[in-house]
Amino acid sequence: MEGSNNNKTNREKFEWGKRAWELLSKVRTESPLIQCITNFVSMDLMANTLLSAGASPAMLHSIEEIPDFTPRVKALCLNVGTLSPDSVPAMVTAARLCSQLGIPWVLDPVAVSASSFRFDACLQLVTFKPTVIRGNASEIIALSSSSHQPSAAKGVDSTHKSTDAVEAAKLLAQTSGAIVAVSGATDIVTDGNQVVGAHNGVALMQKITATGCSVTALIAAFLAVVDKSHALEAVVSALSVFGVAGELGMKMAKGPASLRMHLIDALYGLDEATLHSHVNITSLC
Ligand SMILES: Nc1ncnc2c1ncn2[C@@H]1O[C@H](COP(=O)(O)OP(=O)(O)O)[C@@H](O)[C@H]1O
Ligand SMILES: Cc1ncsc1CCOP(=O)(O)O
Ligand SMILES: [Mg+2]
């Protein structure tokens, strides 16, 4: 019995490895244009993550440009990390356009419980039907609640493990219609029914600011090369690929600063055999 379970898990991992490689290869050949309206901290790492994966990042924020530019992008990444009253209308306009035009878009609800202003802005953005919501466990727990609870997190960092947020993620997926991804030691992805775990990455990734923001943008790039019916596979694959890049980078890193550099190099140079041997994705239920 145990042997047949192991066989099933190995087969599952093999199939996921194949899928993750196909999607990374599509990002590299199609080089989708990805618009990011993101926080001031993350712009550099996010753009470099997208470039090293083969995508084409554009960090255009201005509301004046959105009606011309956003319809031409293959996916949009919205991140509320340094939200201000001035930035909300641009985000709402871009989200509304993507929703109307069927362009996939991803919401990163950074520090959503920090203030009622941020919480309400995220709730408003969710009404424009994000394809995916990706946050850490505290963010997903907070956003799944119908009212603002100030103590749910420590600023942008999580005070929960991703596994604490499984039920919250399922609830948020069911109420929003989005696929919900919770990052952590195990990245958890759910459509409200199926739950998949990506067990890649290294703990030191938490000590580099904007790794969460960057993996959200990578999810947008993977969504850009699939149709809607394959969105869950794209999300799981992007999380796993980023985690594998972290594992490979860690072999050469001396600390967070060199991990940041080696992670980007590893993502850029990732080959099929290496990805296959590292991908660790399993069904959780
Ligand atoms: N303990 C851990 N072990 C392995 N990978 C981790 C761990 N914690 C976070 N990661 C990875 O680091 C990246 C950022 O996740 P996280 O720190 O949860 O996001 P955020 O920066 O938004 O809080 C993700 O790719 C995630 O898989
Ligand atoms: C430190 C900080 N402050 C506001 S946004 C931000 C970056 C958060 O990045 P991540 O969510 O990827 O840790
Ligand atoms: Mg974050």
Structural domain containing residue 67: 30-184+199-283
Asked if residues 40 and 257 have their Cβ atoms less than 8 Å apart, the reply is: no
Report yes or no on 18 lying in a domain. Answer: no
- Residue 223 above 90 pLDDT? yes
Using a 6 Å CB cutoff, which residues line ligand 1? Answer: 136, 157-158, 183-185, 187, 201-203, 205-206, 211-212, 215, 242-243
| Number of domains the chain is built from | 1
Report yes or no on 189 lying in a domain. Answer: no
Report yes or no on 82 lying in a domain. Answer: yes
For residue 96, the tally of other CB atoms under 10 A from its CB is 16
**What's 114's domain CATH number?**
3.40.1190.20
- Give the sheet arrangement for strand 195-198, strand by strand: 56-58, 33-37, 75-79, 105-108, 132-136, 179-183, 187-190, 195-198, 281-283
Q: What distance in angstroms lies between residue 116's CA and the mean position of ligand 3's atoms?
A: 18
Residue 115: the pLDDT is 96
In 3D, which of 92, 96, 79, 95 has the Cα closest to residue 156? Answer: 79
Asked if residues 96 and 78 have their Cβ atoms less than 8 Å apart, the reply is: no
Atom of ligand 2 nearest to the CA of 211: 12
- State the Cα–Cα distance between residues 88 and 78, nearest whole angstrom: 10
In the chain the first and final C-alpha atoms are separated, in Å, by 19
- State the Cα–Cα distance between residues 33 and 46, nearest whole angstrom: 13
Tell me the per-residue pLDDT of 59-98, one tens digit each, with 9 for 90 and over. 999 999 999 999 999 999 999 999 999 999 999 999 999 9
Grouping H, G, I as helix, E, B as strand and the rest as coil, residue 192 is coil
Report yes or no on 21 lying in a domain. Answer: no
Report yes or no on 12 lying in a domain. Answer: no
Single-letter residue type at 277: S
- Residue 282 above 80 pLDDT? yes
Angle 231-250/256-269 helices, nearest 10 degrees?
A: 120
Q: Is the ipTM of this complex over 0.90?
A: yes
- Indicate which residue's Cα is closest to atom 10 of ligand 1: 184
